[in-house]
Structure formats: structure tokens, C-alpha cells
Amino acid sequence: MAVLVVVIVACLGFCICLALLKWNEIRYNRRKGLPPGTMGWPVLGETTEFLKHGPSFMKKQRAKYGSLFKTHFLGCPTVVSMDPELNRYILMNEGKGLVPGYPQSMLDILGKRNIAAVHGAAHKRIRGSLLSLIGPHVIKDELLPKIGNFMTSFLENWNGKTIDIQETTNEMALLISFKQIVEKAPSSLYEIFKPEFDKLLVGTISLPINMPGTSYHHGFQGRKRIVKMLKQIMEQRRASSIAYDDMLYCLLHSKDSKYNLSDEEIIDQIITILYSGYETVSTTSMMAVKYLHDHPKALEELREEHLEIRKKKKPGEAVHWDDYKSMSFTRAVIFETSRLATVVNGLLRKTTEDMVLNGFTIPKGWKIYVYTREINYDPFLYPEPLTFNPWRWLDKNLESHNYCFIFGGGSRLCPGKELGLLQVSIFLHYFVTSYRWEEVGRNEIHQFPRVEAPKGLHIRISNYHA
């Protein structure tokens, strides 16, 4: 009897699941002109499949429905574009029925006034403010010396140690950004800040379900505590007559009225700078170490480039701007690492009106996911695309080809691109001229939804003697 009850319940559950799936498909298929595709479950959509099997899920859907298809993930009906030409059109034509369309979880946790979320005049103003903090002249004259000092201190005394380079580059990327924003903050503040930031990071890519135990809830709570800390620091700064040499001081005392930001905008930009710099710099640094370990010829050429710079310097002399600009192979290694270990898989836009793309009608309020990941592995753009070949980037035209979206595109080209390149370059400079390393144990790398080593990436370090 008990077995029969279990069978009946299982059958009923199966029928209900089928009914829910069918109802959701009918609900969205009432609209005419939509691209083909599936919408998955009510509310959840196909979020689980996307986060768990991202690249393979995308390839499977493209094989069934073509390079433009509909789906539903991260809480919103979405059209995915895997067409390079259409992707370029979308990214280059913001404002023509398209605005940023980042997931609700990301808006709630990074802030609704962060540079990635705003558009139009607000975007130009905030972008201008950020470039005044991290533009080329500021990097050259102010940030490069600070970054050089940080790296020499951070990397000292590693000889003989076995470290988790993932954990170490995570620490490096967050700490260097934190110090650029609030340089004189006590170390105790950073120790409180970091665990809250770790919660925030995980919550940005999650379903916006604010229930205890969910990633979104942890992320949102992390943001609330970070906002409270930043507000306290801002109050202390305003009550002080001390002129600090950091980004927060510049944001609070901007003399250029066109770049003045509200407190909400300042907080959201600080969180965004920390978030974007953390993920890109840490992951690229870790994976560069991994790829250079696995490709000795590339490591040899990179090390020769940096040893040549050191030969022209006195012991302990810092790297200068001209030294950085001469690191052509280093730049190629960073671009190739960023291409193979894709940190940003795509960019989201939202329609402000019904619009037609490739003959299909995209309804107002839908998201468009410009999925750029597969372009990085296109054999027509990058011969032998799965091979680590930094030499391909020595052709500078490759950086500027129409479908290179490694650092975004159009008016949304990452304002921190040059700062990120410089930070990874200076890290590699001091790392490869000071140390050798070998991997320890079996290190597994996951490529989606984030590039990460679930159990760490462990290396044994020894001094390098030329």
C-alpha cells in the first residue's frame, strides 16, 4: 500500500511539473514575433541550468534555436544574442531603445547608482568622475608609485612558502583597491570589511530571493554593513581638516562641479570599484600564474622582458611609466589570459520599448544578454582558440578588432581597464623577477559562472636566481 502511495504521489508531482512548464511556455508564447527558445519554470526560469551548465547550456540552445533565442534567468525574461554582428550593434547603440539591464540582485547589492546601472547624462557624469580618479595621467603620476610600493611589500618573504595563489591574489586585489580608496584606514577596519565584501560578491549573481540562507540575503546583508562602514568614514572625513591622499578624499572634495556626486553615488561607485577590480585583477593574476607555469616558453620570454627592465635600474628602484609602457609581451600575456579565462561572460541590456532585432520582436522591459564569451573562442578570430598563445596579441590590431569585448564595448568600455592592466603587470614584474614556482597537488579550475579553483590553486615558491 505504501509503495502505491509513493508511486501515485510521484506521478502527481511529475504531472504538476509538466503542467507548470507548459503553462509558462504558453504564457510567454502569447506574444507574437518572439525568438524561439524555452522559458523553464515560473519565477525560476532556467536560472539553475544557466548557472550550473552555462557554456554548454548556451551551445545547446544555439544548436536548437539559432544565435538569438529566448529564455528566463535571474528573475527576468531574456533574449540571448550569440551573434557577433548583432552583439556589436547592441553595444554600440545604447540609448536607442536600450539601457543597462543588470540583474536585480546585482542592482540591489552593488547599488542602483553604480556606473554599470545608470545611463544617459548620469552615466556620463559618473564615468567622468571615475576617470578623474583612475585616468591615464592619475595612474602615471599618482597610482603607479603606490602600486609599486604595495607590490614590493606584499610579495616579500615568499621564498620557501607553499601558498594558495587564488586566496593570495584575492587578498592582493581587494587590499590594493581598498588602500587606494581609504589609504589611512586602520588594518582592523579592513579585517571587518573583507568578510562582508565576500558575502556581497557571492550575492551579485543569484536569484533575488531575500530569505535567510540564500546567497542574495547574505549579499544584501553584506552590502548593508559595508554601507554603514563607509558612511561612518565619510562622516569622520567631513569632520576632519586633514587632506588625505586617496580616492575617497577626491570624491568628497571634488572641485569640478560637473563631477560632483551625491553620498549614495559615492558609496555605489566605491563598492563598484572594489567589486570590478577585485574579480578581474585577482582572477587574471591567478590564471596568468597558472598559464605561465604550464607554458615555460611564455614564462621565459616574460621573465626576460622584466629582467631587462631591472638591469637598467639600481637595486630597489621602482618601476616607472616608461618601463610599464615597454612591457609589450606582458600586456599580451594579460590579454591572452583574459581571453581564455573569461571573467565577464556577457553584458546585459534592457529594452525601453518594443524593438525588432534580426526579424524578431523583443518586448519592452525584456533583458537582452549580449553573450560575448564564445567570441573569445572563435577559431576565425583566434586560430587554435583553446591554446594559450600570447604572441598573437603582439599584433596590436587584435586589441581593437570589432569583436574584442574583453573589456566591454562602446560607451561602456571599462573605465578601469588601464588600471587593471597596470596592477597585473606590476604584480607579474615583481613575482617573476623574484621567484620560481611549481604547482602542488591536483588543482581543479572551474570556468563558469566564475573562474575559480574550488579547492584552491597551491604553488611552492623559491627564490629566482638569474
pLDDT value, residue 56: 86
Q: What's the mean pLDDT in 80-89? A: 89
Q: Cell 569640478, residue?
A: 256
pLDDT value, residue 28: 59
Place 14 in a pLDDT band, splitting at 50, 70 and 90.
very low
Q: What's the mean pLDDT in 437-445? A: 90
Instruction: Give backbone dihedrals phi and psi of 348, rounded to 5 degrees, phi first.
Output: -105, 135
Q: Identify the weakest region by mean pLDDT among 60-64, 233-237, 250-254, 389-393.
A: 250-254
Q: What is the pLDDT of residues 260-306, one digit of tens each?
A: 788 998 898 888 888 887 888 999 999 999 999 999 999 999 999 99
Annotation: binding site: 414
Helix (H, G, I), strand (E, B) or coil at 424: helix
Q: Identify the weakest region by mean pLDDT among 108-112, 253-257, 268-272.
A: 253-257
pLDDT value, residue 255: 61
Q: Is pLDDT at 23 greater than 50 in this prediction? A: no
The residue that leads in pLDDT, 415 or 287, is 287
Domain locations in the chain as residue ranges: 124-342+404-463
Residue-wise DSSP of 343-361 = S--EEEEEESS-EEETTEE
Q: Is pLDDT at 26 greater than 80 in this prediction? A: no
Place 5 in a pLDDT band, splitting at 50, 70 and 90.
very low
The residue that leads in pLDDT, 30 or 78, is 78
> Cβ(445)–Cβ(434) under 8 Å?
no
The span from the CA of 216 to the CA of 212, in Å, is 9
236-253 CB burial, b ≥16 within 10 A, e <16: ebeeeeeebebbbbbbbe
pLDDT value, residue 74: 72
Q: Identify the weakest region by mean pLDDT among 189-193, 203-207, 341-345, 387-391.
A: 203-207
Annotation: binding site for heme: 414
The residue that leads in pLDDT, 223 or 100, is 223
Mean pLDDT value across the chain: 85
Partners of residue 77 on adjacent β-strands: 72
Q: Sign of the CA dihedral 205, 113, 280, 170?
A: negative
Cis peptide before 449 (omega within 30 of 0): yes
The span from the CA of 454 to the CA of 162, in Å, is 17
Q: What's the mean pLDDT in 223-238? A: 92
For residue 448, give the nearest of 163, 209, 205, 166 by alpha carbon: 205
The residue that leads in pLDDT, 8 or 210, is 210
Q: Residue 203 is inside which H or E element, if any?
A: helix 187-203
For residue 375, give the nearest of 365, 388, 385 by alpha carbon: 385
Q: What's the mean pLDDT in 219-247? A: 90
pLDDT value, residue 134: 85
Q: Identify the weakest region by mean pLDDT among 63-67, 319-323, 361-365, 447-451.
A: 447-451
Q: Cell 573562442, residue?
A: 377
pLDDT value, residue 404: 81
Residue 117 exposure: Cα atoms within 13 Å on the Cβ side = 18
Partners of residue 72 on adjacent β-strands: 77
Helix (H, G, I), strand (E, B) or coil at 174: helix
Place 96 in a pLDDT band, splitting at 50, 70 and 90.
confident
Q: What is the CATH number of domain 124-342+404-463?
A: 1.10.630.10
Q: Sign of the CA dihedral 57, 62, 65, 71?
A: positive
Q: Where are the beta strands (DSSP E) in 52-115?
A: 68-73, 76-81, 98-100
* Direct distance between the N- and C-terminal alpha carbons of the chain, in angstroms, rounded to an integer: 79
